[in-house]
Homo-oligomer: A and B are copies of this chain.
Amino acid sequence: MDRYEEKELQQEMEQVEKYLSDCLRDPGYGGAVGNILRDMQMSKGKRLRPRLLLMASRYGDGQEPGRREKLCRLGALVELVHLASLIHDDIVDDAPLRRGLPTTQCKYGKDMAVYAGDLILSRIVQSLFRDGFYRVGALFGQAVESMCLGELGQMECRGRDDITVEQYMHNIYGKTAALCRLACLAGAVESGCSEDVQAQLEQLGINFGYMFQIRDDLLDFVSDTEEEGKLTQMDFREGILTLPVLYAMQDPQAKDRIIDLLREAKEGTFTGEHARTLKTIVTASGGLARAAADMEMYAERALQAVETLPDHGVSAVFRELLQTKCKVSAAG
């Protein structure tokens, strides 16, 4: 483990926070807008996406201070895409909490939340052009399109019992993998990586994203208490079938029982007792284990991308990140 890399990364993440605050500045017209943006500055996430971007950008030729500063700024913009998407997702999910704090739509209403998300998107666009991020700007647009299609795809699947693993993978590509791809690819392009290295980092981002979302879906099952401000089996309660459930449904007996439970969810009569039953079914039918195996497969693919990359101190940081984020199976 290269401690020097980690220390530098930490310093750069402080720069990212500075740029984030800058982009979330109050436009100064008074009213709730300023409060919404202040709330967003307060909500400290893991900043995983800028971290991925900065890590990926280590493999490029352009490491002079001016370039690194621009990369920190770009990292902030990737995080802002994430924050804007959370605001719009919370409208759709009717979520009261996010990271333990009230959501924008819950505190200020859905209407405010629509424009607060749009406002952040407009700030991202302004910064992409003003800072001259011409080589990666279209990638930002592409990622947002994928994110919309993932969420729209998930909404199409809601309440249906005939969802395929393929559809699930399409949806989580948009929900999570597309933005992790953007983080790694934009970092690679903007730091001047070769096309080969760009392609490896793109694969690293996509597979990391798949792993990360499957982990999230597993956590929704294995934890009995609230985790990151979310109730357990929230997806199922909203009629969304995630990977553990989809695998469980390949067992015909489990499938019938899950369809009964899905009906309860749709009718709003899904109780804690039902949640425990679902967990038992999904565990017994091997759904949980198969989803965990998939998660490990995507982690392995991400790791393979790391190993194909030129040897660099940051590779160890990537390896550790992959290990840390692929830990839910043991807890389950």
Contact = CB atoms under 8 A, between A and B. Distances in A.
B88 A149 contact: no
Number of identical monomers bound together in the oligomeric complex = 2
Contacts of A141: 122-129
B148 A119 contact: yes
The A interface, classified by DSSP as helix, strand, loop or mixed, is: helix
A33 to B, nearest CB: 5
B119 A145 contact: yes
Contacts of A156: 30-32
A142 B115 contact: no
A152 interface: yes
Contacts of A27: 145, 149
Contact of A114 (B30, B92, B129, B145): B92
Given A125-B137, A126-B141, A92 B111 contact: yes
A170 interface: yes
A151 B113 CA distance: 12
Nearest to A32: B156
Contacts of A125: 125, 128, 137-138, 140-141, 144
Interface string A131-163: 010100110111011011101110110000000
A142 B127 CA distance: 10
A206 to B, nearest CB: 18
A112 interface: yes
B145 A126 contact: yes
Interface size class on chain A is 35 or more
Interface string A262-292: 0000000000000000000000000000000
A46 interface: no
A31 B160 CA distance: 13
A110 interface: yes
A119 B114 CA distance: 14
Contacts of A106: none
Contacts of A117: 118
A76 to B, nearest CB: 15
A28 to B, nearest CB: 10
A29 B127 CA distance: 31
A118 B144 contact: yes
A304 to B, nearest CB: 28
Interface in A71-118: 88, 91-92, 110-112, 114-118
A121 interface: yes
A152 B122 contact: no
Given A29-B149, A141-B129, A88 B115 contact: yes
A7 interface: no
A170 B29 CA distance: 9
A44 interface: no
Interface in A17-56: 27, 29-33
Contacts of A32: 152, 156
Contacts of A134: 129, 132, 134
Please name the 5 residue pairs, one residue from A and one from B, whose CB atoms are nearest each other, closest first: A125-B141, A126-B141, A122-B144, A129-B137, A129-B138
